[in-house]
Structure 1
Amino acid sequence: MAITFEKALGVHQHTLGVRAKRSEMLASNIANADTPHYKARDINFSDALAAAKSGKSFSLEKTNQKHFSMQTDLQPGVKYRNANQPDTGDGNTVDVQVERNLFMQNSMEYQASMTFLNSKIAGLRKAIKGQ
């Protein structure tokens, strides 16, 4: 019976990728806090994890030759966040305090996923060595 990485590592390999992408997105939100008309984005973790596990990517299909080719930077699970504060006049929806808190929470969840993945790999090493 062959063992695959999918079976051995479980969902942890996918959660790391989703958490890393969320970190990038939250950091981008913080970096663009003063950019006029910038809309804060976030990842719906369950949607992004399901897409990562299935290996699907986001694309729009042309069903007619007259349709425009649509390219988008939104990936599965990526959504625009509703503003928690009143508009200051520049159209920016980033609340820096919320973004920092979400970034820290995501960092801790990333570390937890890394710890789980390391323990799975350590278990595989023990099995290979016969310990």
Structure 2
Amino acid sequence: MNKLFSNVDVLKAGLDASWLKNQVIANNIANVDTPNFKSSSVSFEAAFKRALQGDDFTAKKTREGHIDFERADMRATVTTDMNTTYRMDGNNVNIDAESAELAKNQIFYNTLVQQLSSEFRKLNMAINGGK
């Protein structure tokens, strides 16, 4: 049973991380003209790839007998780049890079939504006997 929802669990974690990344990028873009603002980034892709492959993940359970739905290691990390400055005012937001990353993240998010929808269709077919 715990394998039944493992793909859904990984896809949900990926969607959550992608949503966070979208928020961070939007914040960077909103502060493109703020003096001394330092851009942030979100990294989760390596953990997401490991989760898709099913490698080295331990489940988080609060009681024995619970189904292992939650991936303990699927965490997105937000880091702030304090080491670079692109402009004289101390701001390091590169609007071109942020816009490209936003587009890439949107494609990734939409792909995960399609995959999650496919997983739910499969579950629905299994529940309804293939009808």
Deviation of 1:45 (Å): 1.5
1:125 matched to which residue of 2?
124
Consecutive unaligned residues of structure 1, counting only runs of 5 or more, are: 58-75
Q: Secondary structure at the match of 1:38?
A: coil
TM-score scaled by length of structure 1:
0.71
- Superposed, which structure 2 residues align to 1:45-56 within 5 Å? 45-46=44-45, 49=48, 53-54=71-72
Matched, 1:78 2:78: yes
Distance 1:34 1:53 in 2: 38
Q: Secondary structure at the match of 2:71?
A: helix
The list of structure 1 runs, each at least 4 consecutive aligned residues, that deviate by more than 3 angstroms after superposition, is: 2-6, 46-50
CA 1:30 to 1:123, structure 2 compared with 1: closer, same or farther past 3 Å?
A: same
TM-score scaled by length of structure 2:
0.71
Contact 1:48–1:77 (8 Å) recurs in 2 = no
For residues 62-92 of structure 1, give each alpha carbon's deviation from its aligned partner in whole angstroms, at most 9, with x where no partner exists.
xxxxxxxxxxxxxx51112464xx6321110
Q: What count of residue pairs does the alignment treat as equivalent?
A: 109
CA 1:47 to 1:77, structure 2 compared with 1: closer, same or farther past 3 Å?
A: farther
Which residue identity does 2:40 align to in structure 1?
A: R
Deviation of 1:11 (Å): 1.1
Q: Secondary structure at the match of 2:41?
A: strand
Contact 2:86–2:94 (8 Å) recurs in 1 = no
Q: RMSD between aligned alpha carbons? A: 2.6
- Superposed, which structure 2 residues align to 1:31-42 within 5 Å? 31-42=30-41
CA 1:48 to 1:36, structure 2 compared with 1: closer, same or farther past 3 Å?
A: farther
Which residue identity does 1:92 align to in structure 2?
A: N
- Superposed, which structure 2 residues align to 1:1-131 within 5 Å? 2=1, 6-7=5-6, 9-46=8-45, 49=48, 53-54=71-72, 77-81=77-81, 83=84, 87-131=86-130
